Structure 1
Amino acid sequence: MYLLMKRLIICLIAAFSLQSCNLLSAAGLSSAGQPTKEVPADLTSTTANSAVNVDHSGWNALLKKHVNAAGLVNYEGFKKDKTKLDAYIQKLAGYNPGNDWSVQELLAYYINLYNANTVSLIVENYPTKSIKDIDGAWTKAIVPVGDRKLSLGGIENGILRKMNDPRIHFAINCASISCPILLNEAYTAGKINEQLDKVTKEFINSDKNEISAKTAKVSSLFDWYKKDFITSKTPTVIDYINQYSKSKINAGTTVTYKDYNWNLNKQ
C-alpha cells in the first residue's frame, strides 16, 4: 500500500511538472528558439547591416486605414480587410529570423508580428467585449513563424522582453483601453528608435497616468513589468518615467497603480 501511494504521488508530481512546463512554455518564458539580440543603449534606426529587410507596407496601409490618431481600432473595417490582414501575417510567417538579422529588423518584425496577430485574434472572435474573454489569448500557440507556432505571450515575454529595451511595452498593443495605443503605422528598422521613443513619451504623458511633482498614480504596466524599468541608470520606476514625462515626479514620491481597463479599444 505504501509503495502504491508513493508511486501515485510521484506520478502526480511528474504530471503536474509536465503540465506546468507546458503552460510556462506556452506563456512564453522561453524564446522557443527564436533569435534575440540585446538592444544597445545608443540604438539608431537603420536598414543597414541586416541580411534581411522586411517589407511592412501591407500592414502599414491597414493601420492607416483602420486605426485613428488616438489608437482606437475599427475592427469591423479590419474584418472586411481580413484577406489582406491574413496575407500580411502569412508573409511574416514565411520568414525565419536569424542572427544575421539586425537588432532593428528583429524589433520591428516581432512588434508587428505581435500587433498584427492580436488584431487578427480579435477579428476572428469579433464582436467581443474584451481580449480576456478569449480563451488562451496569450498562451495558445497561434502565431506562425517559419515551421513553428508561437503564443502572443511567447513573443512578449520570451523574445521582446529579452531584448532588454522596456520601450517595447509601449509598442505592443493588447487590444484594451488601458493599453498603450496601437500606433497607426508599421514599425520599421529605418524608424524604430524614433517610433519607440514616440510611443513611450505619448503613453507616459497620456491620461493613462496621473503625474505631477507630488503625484505618481501610474499604469499597472509599471507594476507588472517593474524589473524591466529598473536599471543602474533608472533605479526606480520614477526615474524611468521622469526620462520621458513633461512633469517631473519628486524623488521619494509614493507610487500607486491605476486599475486596468480591459475593455476593447474599438472605435
Structure 2
Amino acid sequence: MSFSQKNIHHRWNNDLKKYVSNNGNVNYKLWNKNKSNLDAYINLLSKFPPEDKSSKSHKISFWINAYNALTVKLILANYPLNSIKEINSPWKTKCFKSRGVNYSLDDIEHKILRKLNEPRIHFAINCASKSCPKLLNEAYTEKKLNNQLNEVTISFLNDNSKNELDENKSAISKIFLWYGSDFGSKKMMLDFISRYSKINIQRSKLNYLPYNWELNE
C-alpha cells in the first residue's frame, strides 16, 4: 500500500477528533488558534492525489476528506462569521492545486465525486451549515469507507432536524431536490431513503424543508 493511501489522512483524523463533536458541531474558535496541522494536511493532499488506477474507495475517501478540509480552511480564513454564504463565491473559487490542476469545491463535488456514482457522498461532504449532514469526526479511509458512508447516511436520514419522515407525508432535505438525479427516479429516491431510515416512505407524499445555512458550530 502506498504512503498516500496508508498515512495521508492521519493529521486530518487527529484534527477532527480534537475539534469536532460526535454530533458534528465544529469548534472553529479553538481550531482557528492552531491551523498549522490543517495547512500541512492540505499540502500533503496536493502532493499525493489518487492515481487513475487507484480504487474507487480510495478516490472517494480522498476527495471527501479534501472537500471537507478545504471547507474548514475556508471558514477559518474568514472566521468569525455566521454563515458560509457570507463568503464571496465559496464554492466556485479555486482553492486547491494538485499536479498542475486548480480545483474549486464545486469542481471536487460535481466533476469528481458525483461522477463516481456513489450517492451516499452527499451525506459525507459538509458545507459548514446546520442543515448539512454532520462533519464526521474521523477521516474517511479506503478500508472503512462503506461502513462510514452507511453511518453518515443513516444518521442524516434519521435526524428529525434534517428530515421529517412519515409513511404518508414527509418533509425531506433539499439535498434530494438539488441532487435528485444522483438517486435515480423519484421511486428510486424513495427506496433509497426507506432503506436507510427507520420509516418506510415509499408511498409518502414529499415536500422539502427550508435549508438552514447558519454555521455548524
Q: TM-score range by the shorter chain?
A: over 0.9
Q: Deviations over 1:233-257 (max 9, x none)?
A: x734211100101011142x21100
- Taking the aligned partners of 1:230 and 1:122, their CA distance within structure 2 comes to 33
- Taking the aligned partners of 1:184 and 1:204, their CA distance within structure 2 comes to 18
Matched, 1:260 2:211: yes
Letter in 2 for 1:180: P
Q: Deviations over 1:109-135 (max 9, x none)?
A: 000000000000000000111111101
1:144 positional shift: 2.2
Q: Deviations over 1:136-156 (max 9, x none)?
A: 100011112232220000000
Letter in 1 for 2:178: W
Maintained 8 Å contact 2:194/2:202? no
Q: 3-state DSSP class of the match of 1:247? A: coil
TM-score, normalised to structure 1, is: 0.77
Q: Partner of 1:244 in structure 2?
A: 196
Poorly superposed stretches of 4+, deviation over 4 Å: none
Letter in 2 for 1:265: N
Matched, 1:204 2:157: yes
Which range moved further: 94-103 or 153-162?
Answer: 94-103
Percent identical: 46
- Taking the aligned partners of 1:134 and 1:193, their CA distance within structure 2 comes to 33
Letter in 2 for 1:260: Y
Q: Partner of 2:68 in structure 1?
A: 115
- Taking the aligned partners of 2:10 and 2:98, their CA distance within structure 1 comes to 19
Q: Partner of 1:28 in structure 2?
A: none
Maintained 8 Å contact 1:66/1:74? yes
Q: Partner of 1:226 in structure 2?
A: 180
- Taking the aligned partners of 2:60 and 2:202, their CA distance within structure 1 comes to 33
Q: Partner of 1:162 in structure 2?
A: 115
1:102 positional shift: 1.2
Where do 5+ consecutive residues of structure 2 fail to align?
Answer: none
- Taking the aligned partners of 1:239 and 1:96, their CA distance within structure 2 comes to 34
1:204 positional shift: 0.4
- Taking the aligned partners of 2:211 and 2:98, their CA distance within structure 1 comes to 31
Q: Partner of 2:168 in structure 1?
A: 214
- The 1:185/1:146 distance shift into structure 2, 3 A limit, reads same
- Taking the aligned partners of 1:52 and 1:88, their CA distance within structure 2 comes to 11
Q: Deviations over 1:10-34 (max 9, x none)?
A: xxxxxxxxxxxxxxxxxxxxxxxxx
Maintained 8 Å contact 2:19/2:30? yes
Q: Partner of 1:43 in structure 2?
A: none
Q: 3-state DSSP class of the match of 1:210? A: coil
Which one of 120, 134, 142 corresponds to residue 181 of structure 1?
A: 134
Matched, 1:73 2:26: yes
Where do 5+ consecutive residues of structure 1 fail to align?
Answer: 1-47
1:100 positional shift: 1.9
- Taking the aligned partners of 1:249 and 1:58, their CA distance within structure 2 comes to 40
1:104 positional shift: 1.3
Which range moved further: 87-96 or 154-163?
Answer: 87-96
Q: Deviations over 1:191-233 (max 9, x none)?
A: 00100010001000002100121121100001110111115xx
- Taking the aligned partners of 1:197 and 1:222, their CA distance within structure 2 comes to 17
Question: Cα RMSD (Å) of the superposition?
Answer: 1.5
Maintained 8 Å contact 2:4/2:48? no
Which one of 5, 14, 18 corresponds to residue 61 of structure 1?
A: 14
- Taking the aligned partners of 1:224 and 1:246, their CA distance within structure 2 comes to 23
Q: Partner of 2:98 in structure 1?
A: 145
